[in-house]
């Protein structure tokens, strides 16, 4: 009898120690089918096009390498801290396509939107991209990664210097040194709208502190677009009814780490985030006949339709939907935590800037002119002003 218990104890100890060295990941089915051998264990879920698996720590790099070679992406899977978190993430990623509660997507602030849109200036966006891409890299563990994010905090603080209703927070993460920067303009209500993008950059297969990674398009362009939106709102003395938050996330390039932590915190604290807009890569106008591509997976259908209507009404530009095919940027962190998020992107997936994640991702990919981001700044402004009612 006792012998049986000892054996049982030994087996469960071995399984437990094994589990300590395994990582819980979520990914898409197409990936899983080709690389079954890298998964130690696959969990049964009701979701048919995504899955949760255990991957040994030493196989994580192999999986990443495979995705790079065969699927031309770096991530393609998300590492989670716990099984519970993974389940919640996968569930929300699929059901998050529709809203849980009513959000007013009507368009009725025409006069106000039309006074703000002409204020957007290419020159400012150009300057911010130039500044951010002058750092050797903005890697989440590098000194220049920390400094560049601190520069964003300083620059944003300068912009809001005369506003008593606004503040800039340097949000420190426990597990890595690059902070996330959060600018808040307080409204009358605690309903919140978030516009974000990642501040970090990366180059080379496995990144690294020493690689040169200007990341002009990916994603100095998104941060520069957001910065110009803030500048225009402040110069026009916009007083929001809802609370507006602008975020420069850290550590996106290594698995959406910064945004995942923040979206999870907002979920835990039951923050009333009624809309999230992600700006990641706005510089390269790669699709001849299209201006703005709305990413349709890991995003909210209703909010996406609203963005399409805003483009038609205020920008008179061409737009279409395309898929990323996986949780390719920080919008997925918000979707995974049950918030409505959208991701307007620079080009069709097939026409995107191929120089990202190399030392050649500079302003030269757009011949030194930041006119494509101007469209995204205008879209973000019309989104904010119309949703803020």
The site for ligand BES (CB under 6 A) is made up of 73-75, 218-219, 252-253, 255-256, 280-281, 324, 327-329, 345, 349, 352
Q: Which is nearer to ligand BES, 132 or 233 (CB)?
A: 132
Question: Which residue in 97, 280, 291, 388 is the catalytic one?
Answer: 280
What is the smallest separation between the CB atom of 196 and ligand BES, expressed in angstroms?
A: 12
Phi then psi for 323, rounded to 5 degrees? Answer: -105, 145
What is the smallest separation between the CB atom of 64 and ligand BES, expressed in angstroms?
A: 9
Q: Which is nearer to Zn ion, 218 or 228 (CB)?
A: 218
What is the smallest separation between the CB atom of 280 and Zn ion, expressed in angstroms?
A: 7
Q: Which is nearer to ligand BES, 26 or 192 (CB)?
A: 26
Phi then psi for 284, rounded to 5 degrees? Answer: -95, 115
Question: Which residue in 357, 361, 386, 388 is the catalytic one?
Answer: 357
To the query of whether residue 198 is one of the catalytic residues in this protein, the response is yes
What is the smallest separation between the CB atom of 130 and ligand BES, expressed in angstroms?
A: 19
To the query of whether residue 218 is one of the catalytic residues in this protein, the response is yes
H or E segment and range at residue 195: strand 192-198
To the query of whether residue 280 is one of the catalytic residues in this protein, the response is yes
CB 153 within 8 A of CB 260: no
Question: Which residue in 54, 200, 252, 291 is the catalytic one?
Answer: 252
Q: What's the rounded Cα separation, in Å, for the pair 360 and 231? A: 29
- How does DSSP assign 295-333, residue by residue? E-TTS-HHHHHHHHHHIIIII---EEEE--SS--STHHH
To the query of whether residue 164 is one of the catalytic residues in this protein, the response is no
Q: What's the rounded Cα separation, in Å, for the pair 61 and 63? A: 5
Q: Which stretch binds Zn ion (CB under 5 A): 14-22, 181-189, 210-218, 332-340?
A: 210-218
CB 205 within 8 A of CB 73: no
To the query of whether residue 371 is one of the catalytic residues in this protein, the response is no
Q: Which of ligand BES, Zn ion, none sits in contact with 345, Cβ below 5 to 8 A by type?
A: ligand BES
Q: What residues have CB less than 8 Å from 151, skipping those under 6 apart?
A: 131, 132
To the query of whether residue 253 is one of the catalytic residues in this protein, the response is yes
Q: What's the rounded Cα separation, in Å, for the pair 228 and 234? A: 10
Is residue 386 at the binding interface for Zn ion, with CB under 5 A as the rule? no
Q: Which is nearer to ligand BES, 182 or 352 (CB)?
A: 352
Cα end-to-end span (Å), the chain: 70
What is the smallest separation between the CB atom of 120 and ligand BES, expressed in angstroms?
A: 22
User: x/- binding map, residues 215-254, to Zn ion, per CB under 5 A?
Assistant: ---x------------------------------------
Residue that the structure tokens 């040994």 belong to: 56
User: Can you state the percent helix, strand and coil of the chain, rounding each to 5?
Assistant: 45, 15, 40
Annotated catalytic residues are 198, 218, 252-253, 280, 357
């Amino acid at each position: 009898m006792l012998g049986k218990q000892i054996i049982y104890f030994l087996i469960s100890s071995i399984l437990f120690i094994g589990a300590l060295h395994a990582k819980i990941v979520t990914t898409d089915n197409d990936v899983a089918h080709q690389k079954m051998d890298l998964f130690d264990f696959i969990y049964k879920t009701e979701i048919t096009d995504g899955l949760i698996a255990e991957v040994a720590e030493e196989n994580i790099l192999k999986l990443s390498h495979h995705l790079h070679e065969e699927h031309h992406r770096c991530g393609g899977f998300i590492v989670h801290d716990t099984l519970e978190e993974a389940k919640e993430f996968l569930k929300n990623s699929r059901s998050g396509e529709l809203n849980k509660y009513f959000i007013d997507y009507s368009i009725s602030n025409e006069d106000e939107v039309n006074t703000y849109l002409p204020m957007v200036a290419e020159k400012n966006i150009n300057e911010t991209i130039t500044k951010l891409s002058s750092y050797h890299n903005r890697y989440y563990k590098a000194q220049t990664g920390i400094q560049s994010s601190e520069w964003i905090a300083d620059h944003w603080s300068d912009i809001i210097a005369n506003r008593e209703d606004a503040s800039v927070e340097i949000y420190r993460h426990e597990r890595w040194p690059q902070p996330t920067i959060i600018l808040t303009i307080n409204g009358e209500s605690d309903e919140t709208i978030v516009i974000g993008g990642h501040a970090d950059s990366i180059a080379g297969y496995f990144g690294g502190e020493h690689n040169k990674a200007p990341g002009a398009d990916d994603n100095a362009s998104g941060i520069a677009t957001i910065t110009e939106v803030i500048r225009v709102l402040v110069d026009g003395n916009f007083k929001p009814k809802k609370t507006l938050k602008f975020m420069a996330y850290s550590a996106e390039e290594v698995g959406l780490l910064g945004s995942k932590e923040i979206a999870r915190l907002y979920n835990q604290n039951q923050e009333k985030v009624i809309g999230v807009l992600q700006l990641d890569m706005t510089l390269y106008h790669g699709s001849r006949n299209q201006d703005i591509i709305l990413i349709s997976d890991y995003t909210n259908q209703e909010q996406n339709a609203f963005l399409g209507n805003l483009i038609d009404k205020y920008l008179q530009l061409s737009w279409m939907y395309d898929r990323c095919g996986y949780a390719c940027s920080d919008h997925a962190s918000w979707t995974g935590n049950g918030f409505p998020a959208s991701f307007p992107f620079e080009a069709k997936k097939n026409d995107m800037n191929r120089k990202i994640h190399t030392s050649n991702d500079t302003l030269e990919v757009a011949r030194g002119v930041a006119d494509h981001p101007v469209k995204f700044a205008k879209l973000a402004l019309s989104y904010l002003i119309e949703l803020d009612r």
